[in-house]
Chains A and B, each alone.
Chain A
Amino acid sequence: MNLKTIKHIAISSIYEAKGSKFSYIIFSFLVILSYVSILLGIMAVWEEKKILSDFFLSITQVGVLFWSLIMLATSISSDIETKRIYLILSRPVRKYEYLLGRFLGIIILSFLIIVFVTLIFFILLLIKRYKIEWGYVNNLGFIFIKICVISSISLLFTVITTSVYTSFIISMMVWFVAHFVNELKFALSKINGFIFMKYLLYLIPDFSLIDKKIGYVYMFVYFFIFTLISLILFERKEIT
């Protein structure tokens, strides 16, 4: 594995994603919603700070989720469709190095977007003379991990289908179910039978377990496995 190659691909991926139209749309979406958060905060008289922090956490999560899923799917699919990938792979670059570079670029930029939105939030808190709490940063950590895991799942489906829409829709469905797995597990534990369904749930990460003691490790394992399968599949894939 050539780390230098991966680094270069990741950096070029960051520059490409930074200049894309979709990034500007997400950016304006975040700015408009930041303004909405101020209005919402005023409506809940005694809970302004909580509403501000919950709102910023939510818009960070939703914004980065959409951004990362779409950017990941489009960057790889468009490289294959426009045959640009041949240009990259004609150099001494392995397929999995290319994929890992692309993936890391998106993950790093997702992290930077989270940092950027958090800075806006902290500035807003300072203007409103509220104290900054570390619990917020902890929640951001949870969001980033969830984004990493869902991106790895999206990567797998992008590799399998090479279609932007299919990958995006499946990843979004997994995101919905992953927040609801806990409830499904509980419901299935009360019903006899459905053993197949119970084990099928293991394919989807349970996001509610993230705040458990080794929840981080649990999420990392999912992230690692999905990324590994994607890399292996892409390495063996015939790109036409």
Chain B
Amino acid sequence: MIISFKRLGIFFFFTVGVFFIVIFNFNINLRYPFFVLLASNVTNPIEKIISVSFGTRNLYSDILYIRFLQYYGTREEGDWEFGEGRYPLLYSYSKDIVIIDPYYTNAVIVCASSLAFGVKRIKEAISILRFALSYDKDNVKYIALLSAILTFELKHNIYDLKLLDELYVFAKMNSVPDMIRNIVGFLCKKAKRYDNAIEMYEIILKESRDPYYLEIAKKQIEYINKIKNNTLRYENP
């Protein structure tokens, strides 16, 4: 029986290919959380499974983030200006985002800081950050925010200088959301660290694209300069 070199070559490549696939397939990618492990923590499992198996995990995490922003941006009943501000589903929304994409840094930071500093649910904020950190281990922003929240939890004093220092260093990092920078600027102003506050608002002026925060930053810089020059008594504008 004569076997041509061409057939032999094809057979060789085929065998090597199958062998390689079998070996390589032993790898399990641990990049994202497994739904099987999280079981009851996964809300709307069918929606999640469809989005992941369609290959649109990132887009789905964006949609979850928009849902979160819409929920947190809607005024609750209660106080005439800000509503009651309890937002009972905030943790559930945050958990959804972090389960689908723990590498979505800005969304995770906004979720955790809203939980910690917005509705004062520190333990939930910590659980969100710890979950994200268990996947994105080297994310400095997560570590910085976690340490700031922990200091806040320990001291229960928003004007604590160590907390402010940590938050200040964190907010100066690249691509931190405007909301966080605005909060830090505001806290610095209240703690009478006017130079730091001005610096924070200047960063917003330089990097933000949101007209709302640009307007706030301009007004705050003018206001703090007046306070510094003793032309105005401190008062929140």
Contact = CB atoms under 8 A, between A and B. Distances in A.
Given A54-B62, A225-B18, A218 B24 contact: yes
A44 B62 contact: yes
A176 B70 CA distance: 30
A39 B177 CA distance: 20
Contacts of A225: 14, 17-18, 21
B10 A187 contact: no
B66 to A, nearest CB: 5
Contacts of B69: 43-45
Contact of B55 (A185, A190, A207): A207
A108 to B, nearest CB: 22
Interface string A187-227: 10110000000000110001111011010011001101100
Given A45-B210, A186-B36, A209-B29, A179 B66 contact: no
Interface string B181-215: 00000000000000000000000000001100000
Interface stretch (A4-12, A19-27, A57-65, A80-88): A57-65
Contacts of B119: none
Interface string B77-114: 00000000000000000000000000010110010000
Given A186-B34, A202-B25, A179 B53 contact: yes
B24 A43 contact: no
Contacts of A175: 53-55
Contacts, number: 110
Contacts of B2: none
Contacts of B173: none
Interface in B30-49: 31-32, 34-37, 49
Contact of B29 (A51, A61, A182, A214): A182
B210 A206 contact: no
Contacts of A44: 62, 65-66, 69
Contacts of A177: 53
Interface of A: 40, 43-48, 50-51, 54-55, 57-58, 61-62, 146, 175-177, 179-180, 182-183, 185-187, 189-190, 201-202, 206-209, 211-212, 214, 217-218, 221-222, 224-225, 228
Interface of B: 10, 13-14, 17-18, 20-22, 24-25, 27-29, 31-32, 34-37, 49, 52-56, 58-59, 61-62, 65-66, 69-70, 104, 106-107, 110, 177-179, 209-210
Given A201-B25, A222-B21, 13 more contacts: A40-B66, A43-B69, A46-B177, A46-B179, A47-B107, A50-B106, A55-B59, A57-B59, A183-B52, A209-B29, A211-B31, A212-B27, A214-B24
